[in-house]
Structure 1
Amino acid sequence: MIIPAKNKPVLPLTISVKEIESIVEWFDQHQQSLYILGWSYLGNQLKIEELFYRAILQVYKELPKFKKSTSFELRVLSIFIRICRELSIENSVIASEERVFNALQQLKEQEREVLILKYIKGISREETAQLLQLSSEQIKEFLISGFQLLRKGLGNGDDYQGCYEYQKLYVNYLERKLERPRKIDFEMHIYNCHNCQDDLASLQETILNFSETIETFSVPADFMENVKDRVSQRENSIKLKKKKSKRIGFISASVFVLFLGTGFFTGIFQKIYYSLTEENQELRIFLQEDLGERLGLEAESNGVNIKIKSVIADEIQTLIFYEIEDTNDNNQYMINIDDGIFIEDEMKIMVANTYPMYIPPDMESDLNKKEKNIYHGKLSLRPLKENEATIQLNINKVMKLKRNSSDSFVNMEPEEGKWNFDIPVTKNPSIEYALNEEVEIEGIAVLIDKLILAPTGTILQYGLKNEQPEKRIEMINFKNLEINNKVAEADLYGNSYVHAQNDLRWSKFQAHFKPLFEKETDEVKVRFDNVYLSIVDNKTIALNASKEYPQTFDYAGSTISIDKVETGQSAIVVFSNHEINNRAYESLHYNIVTEEGDDSSMEMDHKGIIVDKNGKEYDMKKITPRIYEEMEQPRHFFTVQSTKIQGKKVTPKSLEIYGYSTTKYLDDEVELDTELIVKEEAGT
């Protein structure tokens, strides 16, 4: 496979490479993101040409001083930003025709820099903090305030007011950096707080608008040529041609190696070959179906060797199979998508309004029990925009897996290093069927909208029409799909919201199922498992800290105890119900009203248990992915819910309950009318 010219990997620059041409080529490869960074300071093409010229010469001058412990990109960005600031002192920024850039130029310098470095250059928070000499917490604060001010600058920021304590979590949630218990609490709050829903959606729309503007922003056609001409006049042309010749030879050698590593096996021989040579059963099936190829890319750091075995890409995700070997000791390591990895130009080559699939660590598989120092894993990334690309995957941290002997829970400890890969990827097509079948669940209309057959999974898209004010469906869990007499089990971690809503009558979601490797179907059966509901049932209970607690009240057929009410700078309200047999609700939707009004911030916490359909109870904080996967139709019961209210002096006045969440088990099956299925091809 020959990589298209626009997707050829950037040549690695090391401290030993001193020819200025390599530096110019690096700037050429990164010209769009650097141009946008320069534009946010200067707003003038001639000034930005001067910026590029000075930066290239300064990098060339300082290159011998670069340390191996600091990445080349960070050192270049440090120089680039320094010159940006110097030039901006002498410069009046020209108003841009693009509203986003006008709004961006109104931000404080550090807010603007953090947004651009994080969302345009795609570097991690830790690296951004190192580059700007700020703390990680300051980076998070600048991200939040930057996007809020950007939203306001675009004219839509004043109408959205989410809860203060949850606003602080928006960026971490959108970047998948919330710990699992906090993520569950956040999502439950979002489901039931319309202010936060609107606030988060508006902020996310601003981020997407920002990303889309950046993606469509074009660098003037002659810009980089002008910069190169200025550099060429300063350098010896013969030396530049010689360097270019070496570079072309390097690329040719890389392509030749890529050809050698490509399998030319098809049909029956291909299936037999991979059945004998590939020990990972899941990857073996993909290879036998000719959906990917072996790569064998390797990188080693601190005795930890990472091998990228293969990549399977489609419209759903980009699935990377890897193997990590500890060459010094008997440890197993995995790659955590939420910590320690970043992708060069991620928003440029991947679909922005999607999120990678959650893949928990698997230490119980036969393959990972085989050797104590080798871990076989997979990593889900966003789907590609184009059919072919090269993913520049940079890893600076892996997670050491440690089993807790008391309950088999897997703990993870970070291990730092440096593993960089240029991964060539070809996206496989998927096939879509329009279904348009409307059914009713718990008296609420549900649209079975679309079926997507893709190599890495099967997706059922459905829509919810929540028109009843007293009851709404928050989520549907499916048991399985049956296609061509083959059953696809549901993926427990695969429910997702569809960001592009083309029919405002329905809120669209996608349920993910295991892959079936089917390309055509004339029959589809959908089997439901359970439905998660929000019920509106208002009740107000007066609170008085001078009274003696606990006190009880009746709600939704249960007796609930108010255990504690305290006033002060940290006022506390705690209520509980440990009786779960035949309990109507799983968690309450509520608010604590204070005599001081809404100026105080609130922190909410909870304790609870998980109960499966057979009545077996599990501690909510001790559930492992393995245990959760084996449970039958689990329900999450909150036994204690508590709220801490911060302020100068806070007096809780009342507990206002808006309603509750509950799960209803289903045993329904829908056989779709095959005459309603219209075949459409996607990703081709």
Structure 2
Amino acid sequence: MIPAKMDPISITPIAEKGVDSIFDWFEQHKQSFYILGCTYLSHQQQIEELFFRSIIKVHKQLPRIKSETSFETWVTSIFIHICRELSDNHSLQVSVERESRQDIFKALDQLKLEEKEAVALTYIKGISKEEAAYLLQVSLEKLKELLFSGIRSLRKVLVDGTPSEGCKEYHKDYIDYLERTMDRSKKIDLEKHIYHCQDCQEDLATFQDVMLTMLNLAEKMEDLHVPSGFMENIKARLAEKEKHRQLKNKKRIRKGLIFAGVFAIFIGLEFFTEVFSNRYYSWTEENQELRTYLEKDLGERLNLEAESDGVKIKIKSVIADDVQTLVFYQIEDTNEDNQFMLNYGDGLFVENEQEIMSSVTYPTYYPPDFESEVNNKEKNVYQGKISLLPLSKDNGTIKLKITSLLNLIQDSSDQNGFRINENLGYKTGEWNFEIPVTKQPSIEYALDEETKVEGIPVRFYKLIMAPTATVLQYGINIEQQVKRIDNLTFANLEVNNKKVKPGMYGSSFLDLQQDMNWYMFQTHFSPLFGEKPKEVKVQFESVYVSFDDQKTIELDASKGYSQTFEYADSTISIDKVEIGQPTTAVISLGDSKNRAFQSLHFNIEGEGENQNWSMEMESEGVLVDKNGVEYDMNNPIPHEEIEQPRYFETSYRVKVHGDKVIPKRLVLFGYNKMEYLDDVVKISLE
């Protein structure tokens, strides 16, 4: 049985508003999804990553949601898939604080994955068996088998002694009987048998005890509070991702490599030959980057075209390798002077993605090319490129479906001459392509070098030389309990005295695990065609570090406010507390200069008429460049001119929603900071 169909009215606003609306939806359903995440993962940072990835993926795949599926069921399927991806990484050090970890969560960890998922979805998240079977892609009978075996396995953990096994032919009836969904005739037969069978009496009784114990624990988990600041952290990460995208849209893009050739000489040497024909078409290509690929026989002209409502999309060529699948395209508006671009996840998806593409990594984001000469020629034509997942096969046909385009507008007030047209938003339509593609070979070089950044080991594993990018794979050790690296950036990569820069969005987490004490990452750099590396130099740029440093500050309203205290070599003050609905508190962090941290992780604990309250937080801050110059966030900021900016939070305004909650304690968990680096690591390959 398939779950109830989605209400199209409820999903429309989510689709229109984008990722913010999806975040709001998760905010409303955070409790049940947080508990579900806890059944897979045991660490706070993993669960935060789970929510972050789920929101991004739901936003990306929203155009392909099936009409026969409820929205929550569809989101749950994505959530579970990401749970599985992250569940192998059990070594993060920031534990989720929960009293019940020693009972139901610990017990669930003993089950097989299928059993745990069936039990968690049915009894913890509380969805119907039909829905759970649909999500797990099993029959209803199979789901019941998994529930039975899962409860039997839980019994070994939760019940002392060795209970009787009962009669196997009646095992399949236990769940229906206890849940009172069994047919009357079957129920009578079972009860007759149980009356005369001591083993089945004991077996069914202990089975029932486990079910009741689990349901009681599941009810207690409804009181499991989502940690303070949890959703705020995710929202901040989403905002940071969007900010980087906006900044990147405004940044000037360096022109591609210009390859000069003496046209007349090649005409004399290769006239009327196939080689000349290939080179001729390569040179006549306007896009210099694509021209380079064509010249090197790494792709071919396609010129596939589709039209919808007067807008033509032409797929000019596709370059595929083990890193990504690059699609070069041109969009022409034949009705008006509009320029449109493709944006991955916004109305663009590969229908047969699971069949021919690998999901080990993520596509690279390429912002609009505002500087390109070809995009400043005609007001109704735009040429660009977009990255898709790499192929899992040597060749195949990409079934590309496009349903919306992002509208660009020329703007003389912007130094780049273009901006995204927020008013017009998207151009909708339907453009379908079947694109033949062949994967180009890449060369991998094993690396064996280890260094330390901020005292934390960093290990280099692999260098991949691919036609579309140079990729550095590395690991960050996560064994330390009080200090961890959240992000590591590089200034450049030098191979055989040739330096290449990293892409702004070229770094990603890898779902690979060389060692359970290491997290794997990779960074994309500009391609180095045909180089055979003898020595690699990696220059670091910055590191973002989190510290666990717990401290509890007792609050005493009788002393009045403000109240100050020392933390992380800085003076922090609680300027104001107002009791009400909500209760508000203002916390100042002081001057950003010479401060050991940029932001804090904290929670406010208090007393009220009941214990059901939640906390939301707003922050203010300043942007500080590498030279210490501060920029007020309330004024226009010249982002392109700022060198490696850092954002320092200066104050928090906290609202505690509940019945006149009286703050009693400020609990500090830790803080974050970014450090500039200039270290160079040399790696020999000879």
* 8 A contact 1:477–1:531 mirrored in 2: yes
Residue 319 in structure 1 maps to residue 326 in structure 2: yes
- Asked whether the equivalents of residues 451 and 460 of structure 1 are also in contact (C-alpha less than 8 Å), the reply is yes
Measured in 1, the distance between the counterparts of 2:664 and 2:641 equals 44
Q: 1:347 and 2:358 equivalent?
A: no
Q: Which among 623, 648, 662 is matched to residue 637 of structure 1? A: 648
- Distance in 1, matches of 2:440 and 2:136, equals 25
Distance (Å, rounded) in 2 between the aligned partners of 1:425 and 1:127: 36
Distance (whole Å) between structure 2 residues aligned to residue 402 and residue 617 of structure 1: 31
Give the aligned residue type for 1:672: I
Instruction: State the one-letter code of the partner of 2:96.
Output: N
8 A Cα contact 1:164 1:601, kept in partner = no
| CA shift for structure 1 position 447 | 0.6
Aligned-pair RMSD on alpha carbons? 4.5
- Give runs of aligned pairs for residues 535-574 of structure 1, distance below 5 A: 535-543=547-555, 549-574=561-586
Report the Cα distance in structure 2 between the residues aligned to 1:503 and 1:306, rounded to whole angstroms.
45
- CA distance in 2 between partners of 1:454 and 1:302 (Å): 38
- 1:483-534 per-position Cα deviation (integer Å, ceiling 9, x unaligned): 1222111112111111121311321111221111235222211111121111
2:535 maps to a residue whose letter is E
Contact 1:125 1:139 in 2 (8 A): no
Give me the whole-angstrom Cα distance separating, in 1, the residues matched to 2:456 and 2:538. Answer: 17
The answer to whether residue 282 in structure 2 is matched with residue 282 in structure 1 is: no
Identity of aligned residues (%): 48
Moved more, 589-598 or 420-429: 589-598
Larger Rg: 2
Question: In structure 2, do the counterparts of structure 1 residues 623 and 316 end up closer, same or farther at CA, with 3 Å as the change threshold?
Answer: farther
Work out which of the residue numbers 195, 198, 220 in structure 1 matches 2:96: 195
Shift of 1:372: 2.3
Give me the whole-angstrom Cα distance separating, in 2, the residues matched to 1:521 and 1:166.
Answer: 35
Residue matched to 1:310: 317
Amino acid at match of 1:615: G
Alignment pair present for 1:470 and 2:477: no
Select the residue among 606, 609, 615 that pairs with 2:619: 606
1:129 to 1:528, Cα distance in 2 relative to 1, 3 A: closer
Contact 1:160 1:195 in 2 (8 A): yes
Which of 601, 604, 607 in structure 2 is aligned with 1:589? 601
Q: Secondary structure at the match of 1:428?
A: coil
Which residues of 2 match residues 505-516 of structure 1 at below 5 A? 505-516=517-528
Are the structure 2 counterparts of residues 623 and 501 from structure 1 closer, same or farther at C-alpha, using a change threshold of 3 Å?
A: farther
| Code of the aligned partner of 2:315 | I
One of 301, 304, 327 as aligned partner of 1:294: 301
In structure 1, what is the equivalent of residue 427 of structure 2? 415
- For the 8 Å contact 1:552–1:559, the answer to whether it is kept is yes
CA distance in 1, matches of 2:538, 2:660: 55
Q: Which of 377, 384, 401 is the matching residue for 1:370?
A: 377
- Say yes or no: does 1:647 pair with 2:530: no
User: 1:172 aligns to what?
Assistant: 55
> 1:532 maps to what in 2?
544
1:295-328 deviation line (CA, Å, top 9, x unaligned): 1122222332222111111112111111222222
Q: CA deviation at 1:267?
A: 6.0
Select the residue among 428, 440, 448 that pairs with 1:428: 440
Task: For 1:556, give the aligned amino acid.
Answer: A
The TM-score normalised by the length of structure 1 is: 0.61
Residue pair 1:324, 1:332 contacting (<8 A) in 2 also: yes
The 1:616/1:417 distance shift into structure 2, 3 A limit, reads farther
Q: How far off is 1:289 after superposition? A: 1.9
Counterpart residue type for residue 500 of structure 1: L
Tell me: CA distance 1:127–1:269, structure 2 relative to 1, closer, same or farther (3 Å): farther
Assess if the C-alpha contact under 8 Å between 1:125 and 1:136 holds in 2: no
Q: Secondary structure of the residue that 1:492 maps to in structure 2? A: strand
Equivalent residues of 1:340, 1:395 under 8 A apart: yes
Cα distance in structure 2, aligned partners of 1:341 and 1:143: 27
CA contact (8 A) 2:60 2:344 kept: no
What displacement does 1:348 show? 2.9
Q: Could you tell me whether the CA contact under 8 Å between 1:322 and 1:376 is conserved in 2?
A: yes
Of residues 595, 602, 615 in structure 1, which corresponds to 2:628? Answer: 615
655-664 vs 592-601, which moves further? 592-601
**Displacement, 1:600?**
3.3
Q: Is 2:452 the counterpart of 1:440?
A: yes
- C-alpha contact 1:477 1:528 (8 A) present in aligned 2: yes
The SS at the match of 2:481 is coil
Tell me the distance in 1 between the aligned counterparts of 2:275 and 2:633: 48
8 Å CA contact retained: 2:571, 2:590: no
On the 8 A contact 1:144/1:171 being kept in 2, the answer is no
Counterpart position of 1:576:
588
Mean CA deviation greater in 454-463 or 615-624: 615-624
Aligned mates of 2:627, 2:546 — CA distance in 1: 23
CA distance in 2, matches of 1:507, 1:545: 45
Gaps of 5+ in 1: 1-40, 42-84, 86-108, 119-123, 179-190, 220-263, 676-684
**Relative to 1, partners in 2 of residues 1:619 and 1:137: Cα closer, same or farther, differing over 3 Å?**
closer
**Aligned partners of 2:673 and 2:24: how far apart in 1?**
39
| Aligned match for 2:678, one of 667, 675, 680 | 667
Partner letter of residue 305 of structure 1? Answer: K
CA distance in 2, matches of 1:538, 1:138: 30
Task: Say if 1:170 and 1:523 are closer, same or farther in 2 by CA, change over 3 A.
Answer: closer
Question: Does the CA-based 8 Å contact 1:322-1:377 persist in structure 2?
Answer: yes
SS, match of residue 484 in structure 2: strand
Secondary structure of the 1:429 match is coil
Distance 1:308 1:499, change over 3 A: same
Equivalent AA in structure 2 for residue 644 of structure 1: K
- Shift of the 148–474 alpha-carbon distance from structure 1 to 2, 3 Å rule, reads closer
**Greater shift in the superposed pair: 136-145 or 334-343:** 136-145
Match of 1:656 in 2: 667
Give the Å deviation of 1:147: 7.8
Query: How many residues get paired?
Result: 485
CA contact (8 A) 1:404 1:410 kept: no
Q: CA deviation at 1:480?
A: 0.9
Contact 2:44 2:94 in 1 (8 A): no
Question: Is 2:42–2:95's contact at 8 Å kept on the other side of the alignment?
Answer: no
Does the aligned pair in 2 maintain the 1:140–1:171 contact within 8 Å?
Answer: no
Matched ranges for 1:28-43 at <5 A: 41=1
- Kept in 2, the 8 Å contact 1:528–1:669? The answer is yes
Q: How many angstroms does 1:449 deviate by?
A: 1.4
In structure 2, C-alpha distance between the alignment counterparts of 1:167 and 1:648, rounded to whole Å:
32
How far apart, CA to CA, are the structure 1 residues paired with 2:431 and 2:308? Answer: 7
Checking the alignment, whether the CA contact within 8 Å between 1:543 and 1:654 is kept in structure 2 is yes
- Distance in 2 between the 1:166 and 1:673 partners? 35
Letter of the structure 2 residue corresponding to residue 667 of structure 1: D
